Structure 1
Amino acid sequence: MLIEEARAKVNLTLRVVGRRVDGYHDLESLVAFADCADRLSLTPGPGLDLTTIGPLASACGETADNLVLKAARLLGERVADLKAGSFTLDKVLPVAAGIGGGSADAAAALRLLAKLNGLALDDDRLLEVALLTGADVPVCLASQPCDMTGVGENLLPLSLPKMPCVMVNPRVAVATKDVFSALGLRNGELLVGFSDIIQAPTWPEAGASVEDWVDALAESSNDLEAPAMRIQPVITEVIAALNAANGAWLARMSGSGATCFAIFENTAEAQRAAQKIQLDHPQWWVHAGVLS
């Protein structure tokens, strides 16, 4: 049995550059990864199938539509005699939550299949399948912090310190397509000026402190936060709860929501904040850990 972790993706920033003529949105996003993850295993054998287990297995929807199987099938179309088998997904991350749970699962499947078939992670076929499976799958394939641009295909690795954090999801699903629809861009419409497009973001150098990074992140935002709040107003409540916590330096929504995060001064403050939020809102999903 081969095993991979599918770590949650967190968009520390997210700028929507505009909507392309083909309907896809060009983005610029600083992406980090959390220490909470789904767990995907692969038992080699004939055929291809998936079993979901874990506390959030029932939220995964139809197995046939799972991105794990989609990625495996797409790779099988490009790699002759691809070895596969039976996947088991232990689902602990919220779905439709803005933290790339499904994308991380698909990326983990590609890493498992690459290991089983002796493929390098930079194999062109693997990268092609990652992007065809979903816009967040390429960044989840390496699960390393980076600046992501385009529709998710351009990745610039970055060096991030370990950032104490609390992640909160109010257990409401938010469909990405609905948030982008609420943003209201027409095909071919730009959200930012031309000078903003050609100016690359400047991030702290390797070795910079968490405080330096928080100062830099505070200059940016998540363009999807406002439209997501209109769809699910509870997101406003989540961010308010994070902002009210002692030691919280920066609170923001990740991706298209509804998961929000806060970066804290230290892990002790993050743990205390998570305990209080969980006590005040027992129905919410809460995780205290680190981003890196």
Structure 2
Amino acid sequence: MADIVTQAAPAKINLALHVTRRREDGYHDLESLIVFADLCDELEASLAGSDSLIISGPFGGKLNAEPNNLVLRAVSAFRARWPELAPRGLALSLTKNLPVAAGIGGGSADAAAALRMLAGLSPVPIAVSDLSDLAAGLGADVPACLLSRPLLARGVGEILSPLQHFPGLFVTLVNPGVAVATADIFRRLRAHDNYPLPALPDPLTRPAQLGLWLAETRNDLEPPAIKLVPEIGIVIEEMAQTAGCILARMSGSGATVFGLFGAEGQAHDAAAQIRRLHPDYWVGTAPLLGAGN
């Protein structure tokens, strides 16, 4: 292998998220349109005698490198599944650029990056289906993050339908710096049997098509999250008022809010406006990764 190998861990955004059923095992069936932004954590690795992890970056202080860290769990799970294909040890370095417990993938994206890295280092190809099965054992969002492209997710997140077409769009993300536990949001969810997502236009190639479709959808986790963290609702209203905003909504279980835009300049202007209103909030803007990624 090269002296150092790298993998990006892009931010995951739930453009729409419907909770359709509470299962007997206590989990929930969901339907979600998921996209990924060109805003990433970064994972680097080099060969070593044993596994180790160093975490740095703007949000590195929010995490620790103990064995239960999702990156190390992903490496351990890969090695247990394919012991003959994994390096003996990896010195890993994670640059944490994205907020933690923010509804944008976070640890799941980092774990997926570790799996992609190990699959790339394997001397023989590993089937995507096998890698996805392993990813599902690490967390509900890890299989989607493994693909990091526009897709529909169903079940608890393990049933994935990648989209063949998706319009070029830009996103502005805002996080108020309040960590939200997913379990707390689900405990406050009033309805567990909401209707599923409407059928997507096919082919989905124009921003206007997506905007009309999104107008018929929701994030069912948004109302309980706003009750828990009122700042989320304030940012949604502020984002919705920015020029050219197609949709302002919370991603995942929060507290990150996204604004969706058809033009890069509009997304940057919205980011600047939110920064003026909330100089202490984390704000990022980037293009969405397309269907070909």
What amino acid maps onto 2:208 in structure 1?
E
Deviation at 1:46, TM superposition (A): 2.1
| Maintained 8 Å contact 2:18/2:220 | yes
| Maintained 8 Å contact 2:245/2:261 | yes
| Maintained 8 Å contact 2:54/2:65 | no
| Maintained 8 Å contact 2:143/2:157 | yes
Find the counterpart in structure 1 of residue 142 from structure 2. Answer: 137
Unaligned runs of 5+ in 1: none
Find the counterpart in structure 1 of residue 180 from structure 2. Answer: 174
| Maintained 8 Å contact 2:70/2:110 | yes
Unaligned runs of 5+ in 2: none
In the alignment, is residue 108 of structure 1 matched against residue 113 of structure 2? Answer: yes
Find the counterpart in structure 2 of residue 155 from structure 1. Answer: 160
| Maintained 8 Å contact 2:204/2:210 | no
Find the counterpart in structure 2 of residue 75 from structure 1. Answer: 78
In the alignment, is residue 277 of structure 1 matched against residue 274 of structure 2? Answer: yes
Find the counterpart in structure 2 of residue 15 from structure 1. Answer: 18
What amino acid maps onto 1:6 in structure 2?
A
Change (3 A) 1:74 1:32: same
Change (3 A) 1:162 1:265: closer
Deviation by residue 1:165-211 (Cα, 9 ceiling, x = unmatched): 211111110011111111156xxxx513xxx45xx731122352111
Deviation at 1:123, TM superposition (A): 4.4
Deviation at 1:61, TM superposition (A): 3.7
What's the secondary structure of 1:246's corresponding residue?
coil
Find the counterpart in structure 2 of residue 247 from structure 1. Answer: 244
Aligned-partner Cα distance in 2 for 1:121–1:205: 31
Q: How does 1:33-72 map to 2 (within 5 A)?
A: 33-72=36-75
Aligned-partner Cα distance in 1 for 2:31–2:204: 23
TM-score by length of 1: 0.92
What amino acid maps onto 2:226 in structure 1?
M
Find the counterpart in structure 2 of residue 99 from structure 1. Answer: 104
Find the counterpart in structure 1 of residue 232 from structure 2. Answer: 235
Find the counterpart in structure 2 of residue 146 from structure 1. Answer: 151
Query: Bigger shift: 1-10 or 82-91?
Result: 82-91
Change (3 A) 1:272 1:116: same
| Maintained 8 Å contact 1:75/1:125 | no
What amino acid maps onto 1:220 in structure 2?
T
Aligned-partner Cα distance in 2 for 1:37–1:277: 21
Residues paired across the two proteins, number:
283
TM-score by length of 2: 0.92
Deviation by residue 1:104-152 (Cα, 9 ceiling, x = unmatched): 0000000011111235453444222201111000000010110000011
In the alignment, is residue 164 of structure 1 matched against residue 161 of structure 2? Answer: no
What amino acid maps onto 1:25 in structure 2?
H
Find the counterpart in structure 2 of residue 25 from structure 1. Answer: 28
Deviation at 1:62, TM superposition (A): 4.9
Aligned-partner Cα distance in 2 for 1:219–1:121: 39
Aligned-partner Cα distance in 1 for 2:129–2:168: 31
- RMSD of aligned alpha carbons: 1.6
| Maintained 8 Å contact 1:4/1:40 | yes
Deviation by residue 1:202-236 (Cα, 9 ceiling, x = unmatched): 11223521111111111101000001111111101
Aligned-partner Cα distance in 2 for 1:91–1:161: 28
Change (3 A) 1:119 1:167: farther
